[in-house]
Amino acid sequence: MKFGKEFTSQMVPEWQEAYMDYNSLKTLLKELHGFKQKTRPAAAAAAGLNRKMTLYRAFSGLTQRYNNNSGPLTPSSPDIEDQQPILVNSVSRNGSQSYQTTFLMQADDGGEYELVFFRRLDDEFNKVDKFYKSKVEEVKKEAEILNKQMDALIAFRIKVENPQGWTWEERSGELTRLASNVAASAAALAASTPAGARASRKMDHLDIIEEGPSIHEESDEDKDQEKQSNREIEMKNVQVQNPVVKKAKARKPAPLQILNQVKMNNTLETPRSTIKGVLNVPNHTELEFNRKNLRKVENQLQRAFVEFYQKLRLLKSYSFLNTLAFSKIMKKYDKITSRNASKSYMKMVDNSYLGFFAGCTFSLLLALILIIRSRHLLDKKSEMEWNKYMDTLFPLYSLYAFIVLHMVMYAINIYYWRRYRVNYAFIFGFKQGSELGYREVLFVSFGIAALALGAVLSNLDMQVNPKTKDYNPASEIIPLILMVVMFVVLFLPVNIVYRSSRYFFLACLFRCICAPLYKVILPDFFLGDQLTSQVQAFRNIEFYICYYGWGDYGRRENSCKQNGVFNTFNFFVAVIPYWARLLQCLRRLIEEKNPEQAYNGLKYFITIAAVCLRTAYSLNKGYAWGVLAVIFSVSAAIYGTYWDFVHDWGLLKRNSKNRWLRDKLLIPQKSVYFGAMALNILLRFAWFQTLFNFDLFALHKQTWITIVACLEIIRRGIWNFFRLENEHLNNVGKYRAFKSVPLPFNYDEDEDKDD
């Protein structure tokens, strides 16, 4: 199906007039194309002849100038096609912001057609942008109203659930904290989802829409570029300043006194209510604190949040469809005019308000909070069930949190590597053109997050559903299904979901596992360092095997810690990534004869001892184990911190022109480096919490384990940027910007001389 028809079919019918008028813009391009065809027939033929000589002239001219010693080569004048044909600016009209495109090639043949096209294009974009802003403002206001409704609901519930007149101090801390969290989440969802809703996978099938031969036939290369463009559009995300979030953060928890300002709306339509409406009699009643009214209020708010979610979904679809339409129309313009205007114009679109799976993630997070609260999962009566849930299912689902967080940190790394021109693709050895950008990484990470959160919600829903509540295996099997799906996609041989990147990752992972049997290259030991920050994820995978292999999932019981085999493997699983890195260091020591690799290997050996001692202490709680664990852990942390700063980051050089840093820096703000070092030290010692179990916020043990593991992943993400920056500046090969490509023939000059 052609894009124009698919675009129309996907529109929200009530908003049809607010969408971009794709057909009219396409008509203007047809007229421009017809004019170009009439005026360029001879020029096209001449160009075809010239292209046949391009390769020969390029190399013959180069060799002639070199052999004739005619002096240094002078750069040729820039190709006119490389010049930007447009400038896009933001202007203020009648107190509102709009966008205006200035066409710089009016003197060219057909310039008047292009000028008309860009004027109409601006009108369409400003129309779409204005409509989108108005709808987002409506959503923000509705989010504020829902916040207040949630405050009142929680206060109402306290009154109903405490008929004996329990004191406010007994329950206020937990309940008001939950109320504040729900309010902040609702406000964040209202602003974040519309502004970032660019990657709805509902629109996947648009990637293969055919443009049709109305202007000219597209080559396979053009179609591949179109598909890549569509994927890039899906991952565009613009950070929008959100005053609602700031208000939510500053909002104080709702006290019971809020009920003095609230009355119950009577939404049931009866003859009596109709007469009251005609007589303008207020249609609300005084509050009656009983469970019937509580259920009524909860059901009403549930319907309100469902409708709120639908609005966010429609806004997401509206944003994605229009952005895709602008991208396709600009690609058509570029092909017709042989210009490069789409990049500049789409950059403006990306930076506008029109603004990813991120929207789905935020929506599901809000739904999770509401379900936990509405189902009384944190009440004292449900405390035993909740602890059982945390001991069994939470380790299963937290695995996906570790994966998603690591991918998000990697996406942030890519963004800043590109911003500061770190040639990460060359350093890692990615196949040219196959490396993922930060948008693609974010797309995959938020896709996994949406699936995982959806699985959590499904599990909770099945748990509270009377029809499935007694059949625990049906709900317990959901995390395993998600794990199987992820592994199937990872090993899938079909060319979808970034196959080249998946295979590159699997190849590096295989070489890490098989160390020291393979020669160690940078991608291998870099991945090995990433795995050392995922120790808890390895332990969660071990728990998967135990929980489902021993049949505990059928009873929702955790008997793994009482199993000797499980506890023994708990030692081995935790040291697998450190052991792989130690073997890699030994391989490099033998091959490169570099004593620095011996010191690096010693660092991992001390870390292995520290991890084993901390594990032994957690199982036995003996005083001697605790002392040894502290000694080795502190030693490993100090050693690792020093190695990070001096060897991996190349900092702390006293005689550097940038004192205590290094001579070459990519980030102009030196405070960033000192801040990163301070944060690295702080996060390096986060393991203190797991060793001493400080009761800071009365959180569940599994929650603390997850938080500490996430802090280590964040530390690794910060480490990644400065490690590759140092590699780029000092270790990559003295200005070597290209790989060595093997040639097909070998000229042995020494052999010729002997003959």
- The encoded tokens of residue 65 equal 């100038």
Residues 6+ apart with CB under 8 A from 392: 476, 547, 552, 553, 556, 557, 558
Is the pLDDT assigned to residue 280 strictly greater than 60?
no
**pLDDT (average), residues 255-279:** 60
Integer Cα distance of 16 and 27 in angstroms: 19
CA 115 to chain centre: 38
Is the pLDDT assigned to residue 222 strictly greater than 60?
no
Run of H or E residues at 636: helix 623-643
- The residue among 402, 686, 637 whose CA lies nearest residue 535 is 402
Query: How does residue 282 score in pLDDT terms, banded at 50, 70 and 90?
Result: low
| Helix and strand numbers, DSSP H then E, in the chain | 26, 4
Q: Is residue 116 part of a domain?
A: no
Query: How does residue 276 score in pLDDT terms, banded at 50, 70 and 90?
Result: low
Query: How does residue 352 score in pLDDT terms, banded at 50, 70 and 90?
Result: low
Is 427 found in the same domain as 337? no
Is 309 found in the same domain as 436? no
pTM (whole model) above 0.75: no
- Cα dist. 210→205, 214, 350 in Å? 11, 11, 24
Q: Is residue 508 part of a domain?
A: yes
More confident call, 489 vs 454: 489
**pLDDT (average), residues 205-209:** 37
Report the SS3 class of residue 102. strand
Is 365 found in the same domain as 467? no
What pLDDT, on a 0 to 100 scale, did the predictor assign at position 223? 53
Integer Cα distance of 368 and 366 in angstroms: 5
CA torsion sign for 428, 429, 435, 437 is: positive
Integer Cα distance of 634 and 76 in angstroms: 61
Is 442 found in the same domain as 338? no
Mean pLDDT, the chain, whole residue set: 74
Is 456 found in the same domain as 396? yes
Query: With contact defined as beta carbons under 8 Å apart, do 127 and 19 qualify?
Result: no
Q: Is residue 16 part of a domain?
A: no
Q: Is residue 39 part of a domain?
A: no
Following CA atoms 266, 267, 270, 273 in sequence, which dihedral angle do they give, to the nearest 10 degrees? 50
**pLDDT (average), residues 645-653:** 93
Integer Cα distance of 662 and 654 in angstroms: 9
Query: How does residue 226 score in pLDDT terms, banded at 50, 70 and 90?
Result: low
CA torsion sign for 655, 659, 662, 664 is: negative
Block residue for tokens 């084993």: 612
Query: With contact defined as beta carbons under 8 Å apart, do 564 and 551 qualify?
Result: no
Is 488 found in the same domain as 599? yes
**pLDDT (average), residues 667-675:** 94
Q: What is the distance between the terminal CA atoms of the chain, rounded to a whole angstrom?
A: 69
**pLDDT (average), residues 207-229:** 47
What pLDDT, on a 0 to 100 scale, did the predictor assign at position 695? 62
Break the chain down into helix, strand, coil percent, rounded to 5. 70, 5, 25
**pLDDT (average), residues 455-459:** 79
* Whole-angstrom Cα Rg for the chain: 31
Is 362 found in the same domain as 385? no
**pLDDT (average), residues 614-635:** 87
Following CA atoms 411, 415, 420, 426 in sequence, which dihedral angle do they give, to the nearest 10 degrees? 60
pLDDT tens sequence across 116-137: 888 898 888 889 888 888 888 8
Is the pLDDT assigned to residue 71 strictly greater than 50?
no
C-alpha atoms less than 13 angstroms from C-alpha of 309 in its C-beta half-sphere: 15
Is 146 found in the same domain as 127? yes
- Cα dist. 281→271, 273, 277, 288, 695 in Å? 13, 9, 6, 20, 55
Integer Cα distance of 23 and 5 in angstroms: 10
- The residue among 190, 55, 196, 28 whose CA lies nearest residue 117 is 28
Integer Cα distance of 195 and 354 in angstroms: 7
Block residue for tokens 């999932």: 553
Query: With contact defined as beta carbons under 8 Å apart, do 611 and 574 qualify?
Result: yes
Q: Is residue 664 part of a domain?
A: yes
pLDDT tens sequence across 419-428: 998 889 888 9
* 154 CB burial (10 A radius; 0-12, 13-18, 19+): buried
Is 424 found in the same domain as 319? no
Query: With contact defined as beta carbons under 8 Å apart, do 479 and 553 qualify?
Result: no
- The encoded tokens of residue 372 equal 């936990």
Minimum mean pLDDT range among 209-223, 304-318, 391-405, 504-518: 209-223
What pLDDT, on a 0 to 100 scale, did the predictor assign at position 214? 43
- The encoded tokens of residue 359 equal 């929207």
Instruction: Find which of 217-231, 373-387, 616-630 is predicted with most confidence, using mean pLDDT.
Output: 616-630
Integer Cα distance of 701 and 691 in angstroms: 11
Q: Is residue 414 part of a domain?
A: yes
What pLDDT, on a 0 to 100 scale, did the predictor assign at position 368? 66
Of 337, 370, 403, the residue at which a domain comes to its end is 370
Q: What is the DSSP string of 678-716?
A: HHHHHHHTTTHHHHH---SS---HHHHHHHHHHHHHHHH
The parent domain of residue 686 ranges over 375-731
Minimum mean pLDDT range among 409-423, 611-625, 648-662: 611-625
Minimum mean pLDDT range among 26-40, 69-83, 149-163, 734-748: 69-83
Residues 6+ apart with CB under 8 A from 664: 729, 730
Of 345, 370, 395, the residue at which a domain comes to its end is 370
What pLDDT, on a 0 to 100 scale, did the predictor assign at position 362? 65
Is 427 found in the same domain as 352? no
Of 370, 389, 424, the residue at which a domain comes to its end is 370
Query: How does residue 747 score in pLDDT terms, banded at 50, 70 and 90?
Result: very low
User: Helix crossing, 564-592 with 522-532: angle to 10°?
Assistant: 150
Q: Is residue 589 part of a domain?
A: yes
What pLDDT, on a 0 to 100 scale, did the predictor assign at position 674? 96
What pLDDT, on a 0 to 100 scale, did the predictor assign at position 348? 76
Integer Cα distance of 705 and 722 in angstroms: 27
Query: With contact defined as beta carbons under 8 Å apart, do 26 and 328 qualify?
Result: no
Is the pLDDT assigned to residue 555 strictly greater than 50?
yes
Q: Is residue 232 part of a domain?
A: yes
- The encoded tokens of residue 179 equal 């109320």
Integer Cα distance of 377 and 381 in angstroms: 8
Minimum mean pLDDT range among 221-225, 439-443, 520-524: 221-225
What pLDDT, on a 0 to 100 scale, did the predictor assign at position 411? 95
Query: How does residue 553 score in pLDDT terms, banded at 50, 70 and 90?
Result: confident
Report the SS3 class of residue 166. coil
Query: With contact defined as beta carbons under 8 Å apart, do 193 and 312 qualify?
Result: yes
Q: What percent of the chain has pLDDT above 90?
A: 25
Minimum mean pLDDT range among 11-25, 180-194, 263-277, 297-311: 180-194
User: What single-letter amino acid sits at 641?
Assistant: T
What pLDDT, on a 0 to 100 scale, did the predictor assign at position 522? 92
Block residue for tokens 């509540």: 469
Query: With contact defined as beta carbons under 8 Å apart, do 547 and 560 qualify?
Result: yes
Query: How does residue 540 score in pLDDT terms, banded at 50, 70 and 90?
Result: very high
Which residue intervals of 100-219 are DSSP H helices? 111-161, 168-196
* 383 CB burial (10 A radius; 0-12, 13-18, 19+): exposed
pLDDT tens sequence across 365-414: 666 666 665 555 555 445 566 677 777 888 888 999 999 999 999 999 99
What pLDDT, on a 0 to 100 scale, did the predictor assign at position 55? 39
Query: How does residue 207 score in pLDDT terms, banded at 50, 70 and 90?
Result: very low
CA 475 to chain centre: 28
Integer Cα distance of 444 and 217 in angstroms: 32
- The encoded tokens of residue 669 equal 């703000």
Total domains, the chain: 2
Is the pLDDT assigned to residue 45 strictly greater than 70?
no
Is the pLDDT assigned to residue 479 strictly greater than 50?
yes
**pLDDT (average), residues 60-86:** 43
Is 331 found in the same domain as 433? no
Is 474 found in the same domain as 364? no
- The encoded tokens of residue 50 equal 């010239």
Integer Cα distance of 420 and 435 in angstroms: 17
**pLDDT (average), residues 349-370:** 64
What pLDDT, on a 0 to 100 scale, did the predictor assign at position 78? 39
Residues 6+ apart with CB under 8 A from 521: 429
pLDDT tens sequence across 89-124: 777 766 677 888 888 887 787 788 888 888 898 888
Integer Cα distance of 37 and 28 in angstroms: 14
More confident call, 384 vs 158: 158
User: Helix crossing, 522-532 with 701-726: angle to 10°?
Assistant: 160
